[in-house]
Amino acid sequence: MIDRPAVLGGPPAFPDGLPLVRPTLPDSEPLARRLRDVLDSGILTNGPTVRALEERVAQQVGVGHVVATASCTTGLMLVLQACGVTGRLVMPSFTFAATAHAAHWAGGHPAFADIDPATLTLDPGDLARRLEGAEAVIATHVYGTPCDVESLQRLADAAGIPLVFDAAHALGSRRAGRPIGGFGIAEVFSLSPTKVVVAGEGGLIATNDAALAETCRLGRDYGNPGDYDCLFPGLNARMSELHATLALASLDHLEEAVARRGWLAARLRSRLGDIPGLSFPAVSVGDTSTFKDLTILIDGDGFGLTASELAAAMRAEGIDTRRYYQPPVHRQKAYAHLGPPAPLPVTDRVAEQVLSLPLWSHLTAGSLDRTADSVVRIHRQAPGVRAALAGALLAGR
């Protein structure tokens, strides 16, 4: 009886609810002091704290230049504008919509390519077939899983076009030991509240290309070189000193956060690894993921429930989940005008199967275990759960 899932009348695993994410924030006292110093200085934007953040991240990820921006989306827009790419920009559809939005705002149009079924990152084999007429490749380190950066770079080089990474999830990830940030012509991190390092809102462009960095620096400030004779139509995409202060404090905990998230992800794998129809996106051997998201794949036939049914049953347990990324970008209303793309079978299948479970850097092992136990309990009583969910639907609940 005690083992009944909440959807079948059992007690919910989290009566007070378990959110999907919580930002891990630095100690508020020292942070408040630093924020007060910024306020007292009277310099609220474009000041020494932003520069300190840029220098620190440049050193940490081993790149020549970092340009802090108001968001990752604006950072991507500035990079694409600086690259002068306004035509066909090939990217995965299995990513957050902002990847495509940035391409659109920069004057390009997204052309979607499929993903690798194991890592869920851009598939070099499929990319190779879609490069005709492309002006740039944009790839996303989905959930913090490093892309196959070497193969993507070879293809971009052969086509003579830039490779840009949406690294929103990947500040702290490593490819064969090398920090994400130094690959392609530029990589752009996000510091928004659901990411691992937070600024409230913010982005970071990392690049080894000095000219590109300089253009992005101008671009985030309207394109104004200082004399108000703007060189090109830029944005206001500056990061404020207050946001940079929070980012610097948050950065102090990055290594610890990535290690702990990796440990929690491994713990979940060990607890759910034997369930039929349930699998995990792969991280290549030797790579490190931030596990920005803790995502599982549910094959409805093997598991007994679809990912969407499991999500509904988890909701009854008080557990918040998300379908990252369902719908994939090519199926969103915003891109209907592009018409149907060439088939993306892996993207479509994976999008049906994904479910991201709650994870944050200070999540307790106990909460993770209770989440895993809920998945097991729901799976064991899958036929009853499915019937209960269908009944609730019929009853209009």
Ligand X SMILES: *Cc1c(COP(=O)(O)O)cnc(C)c1O
Q: Which is nearer to ligand X, 57 or 378 (CB)?
A: 57
95 touching ligand X, by CB under 6 A:
yes
Of positions 108, 146, 203, 328, contacts ligand X by CB under 6 A: 203
Task: Say whether the peptide bond before residue 325 is cis (omega within 30 degrees of 0).
Answer: yes
121 binds ligand X (CB under 6 A): no
Query: How many residues in the chain?
Result: 397
99 touching ligand X, by CB under 6 A: yes
Q: Residue 277: is it exposed, middle or buried by C-beta count within 10 angstroms (0-12/13-18/19+)?
A: middle
The separation between CA 15 and the C-alpha centre of its own chain, rounded to angstroms, equals 29
Nearest distance in Å: CB 225, ligand X: 26
Long-range CB contacts (< 8 A, 24+ apart) of 283-287? 283/119, 283/145, 283/146, 284/119, 284/146, 284/148, 286/176, 286/177, 287/145, 287/146, 287/173, 287/174, 287/175, 287/176
Stretch that binds ligand X, among 93-101, 242-250, 276-284, 307-315 (CB under 6 A): 93-101
Contacts of ligand X in 158-187 (CB under 6 A): 166, 168-169
Euclidean distance between CA atoms 354 and 347, whole angstroms: 11
Show the tokens assigned to 381. Answer: 């009583």
Please, how many CA atoms are within 13 Å of residue 147, restricted to the half-sphere of its CB?
36
Question: By CB under 6 A, is residue 145 in contact with ligand X?
Answer: no
Nearest CB to ligand X, comparing residues 99 and 374: 99
73 near ligand X (CB under 6 A): yes
Asked if residues 184 and 162 have their Cβ atoms less than 8 Å apart, the reply is yes
Task: Compute the least distance from the CB of residue 215 to ligand X, in Å.
Answer: 19
Q: Which is closer to ligand X, CB of 237 or CB of 268?
A: 237
Q: Does 246 bind ligand X (CB under 6 A)?
A: no
192 forms part of the interface with ligand X (CB under 6 A)? yes
**140 binds ligand X per the rule CB under 6 A:** yes
Which of 71-79, 211-219, 350-358, 373-381 is the region at the interface with ligand X (rule: CB under 6 A)?
71-79
Quote the CA–CA distance of 172 and 60 in Å, as a whole number: 9
User: Measured from the CB of residue 74, what is the shortest distance to ligand X in angstroms?
Assistant: 7
The distance of closest approach from Cβ of residue 385 to ligand X in the complex, given in angstroms and rounded to an integer, is 30
Burial of 202 (0-12, 13-18, 19+ CB in 10 A): buried
What number of other Cβ atoms are within 10 A of residue 44's Cβ?
A: 12
Report in angstroms how near the CB of residue 373 gets to ligand X at its nearest.
29
Nearer Cβ to ligand X, position 75 or 179?
A: 75
Our finding on whether 250 is near ligand X (CB under 6 A) is no
Nearer to ligand X, 101 or 109 (CB): 101
DSSP H helix total and E strand total for the chain: 14, 12
The nearest distance, CB 99 to ligand X, in angstroms, is 5
Closer residue to ligand X, CB minimum distance, 161 or 171? 171
Among 7, 21, 72, 77, binds ligand X (CB under 6 A): 72
Q: Could you say which of 81, 119, 153, 190 contacts ligand X (CB under 6 A)?
A: 190
User: Considering all CA atoms of the chain, what is the largest pairwise distance in Å, rounded to the nearest integer?
Assistant: 74
Among 321, 322, 260, CA closest to 291: 260
Least distance CB 70 / ligand X (angstroms) = 8
Binding residue for ligand X, selected from 96, 112, 143, 183, defined by CB under 6 A: 96
Q: Which of 393, 395, 386, 397 shows the shortest CA–CA distance to 8?
A: 386
Q: How far is the CB of 98 from ligand X (least distance, A)?
A: 4
Minimum CB separation of residue 252 from ligand X in Å reads 20
Is the CB of 98 or the CB of 161 nearer to ligand X? 98
C-alpha to C-alpha distances, 75 to 203, 239, 251, nearest whole angstrom: 6, 11, 19
Distances (CA, A) of 20 to 104, 197, 298, 318: 29, 16, 18, 11
What are phi and psi for residue 159, nearest 5 degrees? -85, -10
Size of the site for ligand X (CB under 6 A): 14
What is the closest distance, in whole angstroms, from the C-beta atom of residue 201 to ligand X in the complex?
6
Which residues lie near ligand X (CB under 6 A)?
A: 71-73, 95-96, 98-99, 140, 166, 168-169, 190, 192, 203
